[in-house]
Every structure is written in C-alpha cells, then in structure tokens.
Structure 1
C-alpha cells in the first residue's frame, strides 16, 4: 500500500470536485472519479515552489516507471514533472519564457493537483510508462498545457489588446503565443488536437484510446456535434486497453504545416493514474 500524505488526499478531493462539476456542465462521456487512496498522484516527487524537473533517465511514481529522454539543449521527449500553473501569455520569445508555459498545466482556476507529469510526445517511441505486472489502468487525468492552449485558442497572438490573464495590473496589449508556424485559432469545423493512447502487454498491442483536448464540429466521427477546447483536467477511461505492462502516448492534430507536420506541439499533462486492484 502506498503511503499518502494529506496533500495527496486534498488532491484526490479536488479531483472529485472538479469531475462532479464537469459532469454537471458537459454533455460528453466524462468519467466520474471517486476517492481512491492508491491513485498515482506524483506528490511524493519533491519540487521547489513553482518549478519543474526534467530528470535524466526517467522517474518512478507509485511503482510506475516513466520514460524520459533529456537532450543537451534542455528539451526532452517522454515525461517531466512540474507544479507550475501559469495561465498567462509570456513577455518574450525566449526559451525560459516559453518553458514557463510548456511546463504549466492549463486550468480554468488555480490548479489544485500539486505535482503532475508533463508529456512531450514528439517521438513515436519515447513517451510511455511501464508497470511490472499486467494491470488494468482504469483511467488517467489529461489536460492541455498552457503553451498549447494559448496557441489553439488565440493562434499567433491575442488579435486585439487585452489584459494579460492573471496579471490584471499589466497594461493591455496584443500578446503573442510564440508557437512556431501557428497563424490561426483552432476553431474551424474539423479542427482537433488529440492524444492517442496505446496499451501493450509485453510486445502485444492490447488496444487504442483517443482523447480529444480540442475537438471542433465534425472532428470526432463518434461525436460529430462535439465542439470544445479543454480548459481543465478530463478523466480518460483506459480500462478498454485491458491488462497492460506498458502505456504509450502520441498526439495528432488537424493543423499542419506545408511539410505535413503538426503545428500544435505534442505537449499535454497527466495526473491521477488509477490502477485496478487485483
């Protein structure tokens, strides 16, 4: 049994509250979360206030191993972990400024889940976690990071002078997202940004689940009327993957450059991994 702190329990209670509110306001099939002390919450990972860590060689939380490929220039593939929650545009186009939003989960209000994982699925093979023995992953929480949310919601910039979110004292201005190649919002019919989750038991593929973080009308064949851009955590049901020893992640979007590559970068955040008890 994993020892949980008060912070973990507060985090679980927050997850319950958020999901109950979203259940009352949304029409899609979000999963109801209930208290469960063995949820993997990342809260045992130590971070300073408003910081993140890109570990060398990956990390472990709750007995689950997360892969990380850290590059010399400070970028990464796979997973990092963070407690940042900037929801504002950044002031300048520097790596440090962009990293503030890349390493921040985007939530409608101040994030209450403490530490969470940030994924960069820019490789088809690097972004995954593993479990020692075949286990059913009942669900995970997934959210946009701030960098992607601003790019999808505003395009290249805010378009008109607005107050910078979270900084009401700042003068109004046209704020840039600094997302390379992005010139428009993801508001067209058929636009989408989704996370593709695959389960494996050993080397055998057990199934695939798609989780939309942006979905405009006609984008999701199963739900053609859906139109949303996620502004908070959403529970993704992964139980259909069956018992797995590995869960891998990639992303896809409708907005592509002339080279055919996705213009919305392959970032997202995960938390609250629930493993089924045997």
Structure 2
C-alpha cells in the first residue's frame, strides 16, 4: 500500500467551498488502473486526478482524470485544479509564464497570471445536433423549440452539447426530467440582463449522466470552453466575459473567459481546502 501526497482543492472560487471540488493524488505513477478507478469511486467527487511523470518532454506533468464511472481524456476544472496542486507541491515548470499539462487529448497549456487559465483544446465535434437527439434533449429538459436560440455540439472530450437560451433566468428555471436524462451531457447558457449588478455576463448550467444517474455539475471548465468557442466564434458572445455557474447547487462559481489571437482561454481562481496524505493500493 502506497502513502501519497493528497490535495483537495476548490476550483472557480476565490473563497473556497463555493466552486467545484477536486481530489488530487500526487506521484501516482506506481498505481494500477484499478487503483485509480477505485479511489475515484471512493472520493465520490465529480472528478479525481492523478499526477504522474510526463511522457512528452514538452510537458511539465501528466494527469489522468477519473469520474466515479471512468476516465476522461480532458476536463476543465481538473486541469486548473491539478495545475494549482502541482505548483503548490513545489512543481517547477519549464517556462515561467505557463504550465504544460499532458493528458488524454494531448498537451494543454495553462497560463499563469492573475489566475490560472487553460487554452481550450480544439473541439472534437462541433456543428448542428441531429434532429432526433435534439428533440430528446429538449424533452428531457422540459424546453420548447421557441425557447432555444441555438444548439450545437461543443464536445472537447466529455461529449457536451450546448444550448443557448435568451436569459440567465430561463437557464436557472430549467427542471430536468430525470427519467429521460440519464445519457445526456448538455450545457445551458443565457445572458444576465444587468451584468453590472450580478458581476456575471452569463449563467451556465451543466447536466451529465452515465446511463444510471444524472447530475448537475457545480462548475464546468470544459463546457465553458466549448460554449465560448461556439458563441464567441459566431459573434454571439463578446471576446471577454464572466460566466457564473452553480447557483442551483448552492455554489457561486466564476469562470473568466477570454478570446485572444484566435485562442480561447478559460480561467478561474483555485484554493486548497485539504492537504495531507492518502494510502492507496
């Protein structure tokens, strides 16, 4: 049984307990795939990550990202949380202004500045959603066609579909029909009409299922990245904005999005809430 450094961090929150928690196991190279999956099930968080030595010389570290149901090639809040935990543990990046993470989709750049931000990876799937699947999604979310301003694939690994509604209030009012939703991975976005009062330009919600259960994610980097690539690309959102997420989960996440030189960056504050060791294996 191995005793390894462990961190639990809160991502997309500057105060802690208001964002999306992430469990991070350091120096996990000697753990088996079964060990990784079992520990991720045990934490019972939306994601748990394991930091390993990189296999690409251009990377600072390698990360494997697990949900309670399996491994993901990429996810946003685990990227920022893992980078924060790696730095907090004394990691020294090859470059002073950025960290390069190796994960299932390849190399992901994490920019250092006022807050960490990752370069959104290219979409694996984009464009219109098939009519039959679109109808299934709307039925599961209790939405009518005339409420939807747009719908598109925004899949950068997890399999997201994005839906744009007219207002943040409409996004917050959605009540999924759980018995119809078990296989969906869908995100909603709508504008705040008075962003100067809320500190948020848009509100986002993320729903995902693994075939047996259906959950609402507190704050979701990968979905926000895909939505930004879609809606900034179509000129329907500005090149810089703040997305709020998590209100229906009693959270207050803030996702800072910026498009610069044809690259979308997704940033957020991260704080460490738990630090110690774990025994695995």
Q: Which has the higher helix share?
A: 2
Q: Which has the higher strand share?
A: 2
